Amino acid sequence: MAIAIVYMAKEFNWDHSIQGYVISSLYFGYFITIITGGMLADKFGGKRILSMAAAAWTLFTLLTPISARINVYCLILCRICLGMGEGPTYPSVHSLISKWFPPEERTRAITLAGVTNFIGMVITMPISNLLGSSQFGWESIFWVFAIVGSIWSAIWYFYGKSDPRDYPGISKEELNWILKSESTVYSEVNSRNYQLRSRQYITITDDDLSISESENDMLLPKNLVSTRPYYAHKIPWKLIFSRREVWAILLCQFFSSWSYFILLNWLPIFYYEYFHVDIHLIGFYTVGCICDYAIHQLKIRVITVRKSVNIIGSFGISIPLLLITYLAKTSFEGLLMITIGFALYSFQASSFVVSQLDIAPKYAGVMCALGIISGMVPAFFGVALTGWILEVTANNWSIIWRICSLLNIIGTAIYFAWAGGEVVVD
């Protein structure tokens, strides 16, 4: 939509306010299904919920051009329904990662999931640009990606599994390794609770995946030593919201997401209006802003790593945003500054996004859902508010970037003060 709306606004004569409403309506749909999607994913498994979500977002992607031709209100309604389909996606993914990856690999898994998101944007931006400027028009952008979504949905429905125990293609060695790693972590947590010093953990045999119990294992809840998939049934809401570590994640995600979604949705329009870039090149300019997505694995305490990369990411994007309207005189200079900013901003992928699994691995879907809700508030109100600010300030983009930078710094300060690296919700 970030690319398509440039063509649509030109055809339908939409001002910035209407563009803001159209873009932000997607995030309103997110609110409706995020928490529910996360709870259902933790209870019934991520495979089922993600399958239904994929079918919904594919359908409403296909219906987007039709609704836009009717009127802007139908388009906004379609975008809300599309958001409802996308809402359970990331909670389901986090729930799947908590089941499929041993604790020592979850940071890499979450980071790789973020990387693929950016890779998808790098691919779709120029493709959308080519489709929008082709003889098929901007409508073809939604048709093509609806087809892609249908293909992926079919593959996932037949091959996706909520838990490695349910996947017939997994080797015994890999399954044993995953189960043993998870059981070891729970045994460590349980040992701390009972102030025991034994280092004997659960072992899983190759023959029948039976589990032998040591002294510590006897203290484990039955569902943690079972070979059956474990899904959370009762969510400890009071405990979750009583922890400052949880609020550190939620507030940091709120403030950080403001600039992320403003850039995601308004950057093509900024290039088109501020630097007067040819409309047919907008997609290629946007691609340059989302690159060099990499994370350095440091052999340091978890919380030290989380806080360090959060600071790098926050200041890395805030400084270029503050300076771009003052120092960038050409579109290339603006592209270079935003590219550097996004490369540094990507470090935050291994901070508050992964902290959810650090402090509450058993409730990964719910925690992810709460984090996304915190991020969707500025996505919905901030994206729409940006259009209004541009209208009343005669396209003063420097105000937009100052707001983004200030909120980034506030979020980082809160995270630095309150974040934790140990399990506090179990």
Tens digit of each residue's pLDDT (9 = 90 or more) over 242-264: 888 889 888 988 888 888 888 87
Residue 212's DSSP bridge partners are 203
What percentage of the chain carries pLDDT values higher than 70? 78
Q: Are 346 and 117 in contact (CB under 8 A)?
A: no
User: What 3-state class would DSSP assign to 160?
Assistant: coil
Residue 203's DSSP bridge partners are 212
147: confidence class by pLDDT, cuts 50, 70, 90: very high
DSSP conformational letter for 212: E
What does the pLDDT average to over 182-189? 49
Q: Are 41 and 364 in contact (CB under 8 A)?
A: no
Contacts of 319 (CB under 8 A, 6+ apart): 341, 405
What does the pLDDT average to over 62-80? 95
Of 130 and 214, more confident = 130
CA 118 to chain centroid: 10
In degrees, to the nearest 5, what angle opens at C-alpha 262 toward C-alphas 260 and 267? 105
Radius of gyration of the chain (CA): 23
Joined tokens for residue 202? 């659960």
Contacts of 406 (CB under 8 A, 6+ apart): none
Is the pTM higher than 0.85?
no
Tens of pLDDT, residue by residue over 276-330, are 776 555 555 554 443 333 333 444 566 677 777 788 888 888 888 888 878 877 7
64: confidence class by pLDDT, cuts 50, 70, 90: very high
Joined tokens for residue 373? 């809700």
Of 103 and 406, more confident = 406
Contacts of 226 (CB under 8 A, 6+ apart): 211
Domains of the chain with bracketed CATH: 4-163+235-418 (1.20.1250.20), 168-225 (no CATH)
Of 275 and 83, more confident = 83
**Lowest-confidence region among 121-125, 188-192, 216-220, 393-397:** 216-220
Q: What is the pLDDT of residue 293?
A: 33
Burial of 238 (0-12, 13-18, 19+ CB in 10 A): exposed
Tens of pLDDT, residue by residue over 321-373, are 888 878 877 777 877 787 788 777 777 766 777 777 678 777 766 777 788 77
